[in-house]
Amino acid sequence: MTLRVQSGSARGRRLKAVPGGREVRPILARIRKSLFDILRPRIEGALFLDLFAGTGMVGIEALSNGAARATFVDRASSSLRMIETNVAFLGFAERSEVLRADVARDLRALAGRRFDLIFLGPPYKDEKAVPLALSVPALSRVAEAGLAGPETWVVLQHHDKESLDGAEARWEKFREKEYGDTTLSFFKLRAL
């Protein structure tokens, strides 16, 4: 599999390390292009958080487009090594932080830090093709850890059939884009 940065300072550059197994599902190029067309006015100088980072492609694209800093979080050691290799290869290591955590269970390692843009790309299914439904628990962990301020945009990539019931208690959905069976939902914290 070949993964390429689509826009910004590293446009056209291929990632050095790419996933080999089924555990990592990179965001499709056309969805990533659409996402960054939407985010571009907000990305310059932003603090970007890439949760369930996998290949790190979304956070790398954010850095390429002028994000001040990107923090990548995943629980798989292989993904974290892949991200570290690629941010170094592309010259983004000084503006990157790579952390190991189970996003749907515990984000205390980031507690109290605020981000301008947060992307969540949880896996849809486990290795036995059983739906995981990690979106609502992950959104809850983001709110509990205080990672989003009133102006933070949280973008969730999820399967179109996954229920987001329960998310509306803390989050207000203000935009949604569908791409086949994948949906990007855009949230802000609800005013309490």
pLDDT at residue 191, rounded to an integer: 78
Kindly list the structural domains of the chain, giving each domain's residue range(s) and its CATH number in brackets, ordered by start.
29-189 (3.40.50.150)
pLDDT at residue 174, rounded to an integer: 95
pLDDT at residue 33, rounded to an integer: 94
pLDDT at residue 20, rounded to an integer: 59
CA distance 5 to 20: 18
If one counts every other C-beta atom within 10 angstroms of the C-beta of residue 133, the result is 17
Report pLDDT digits (tens) over 44-84. Answer: 999 999 999 999 999 999 999 999 999 999 999 999 999 99
Which parts of the chain register pLDDT below 70? 1, 18-25, 125-131, 192
pLDDT at residue 28, rounded to an integer: 86
pLDDT at residue 23, rounded to an integer: 56
pLDDT at residue 132, rounded to an integer: 73
pLDDT at residue 186, rounded to an integer: 97
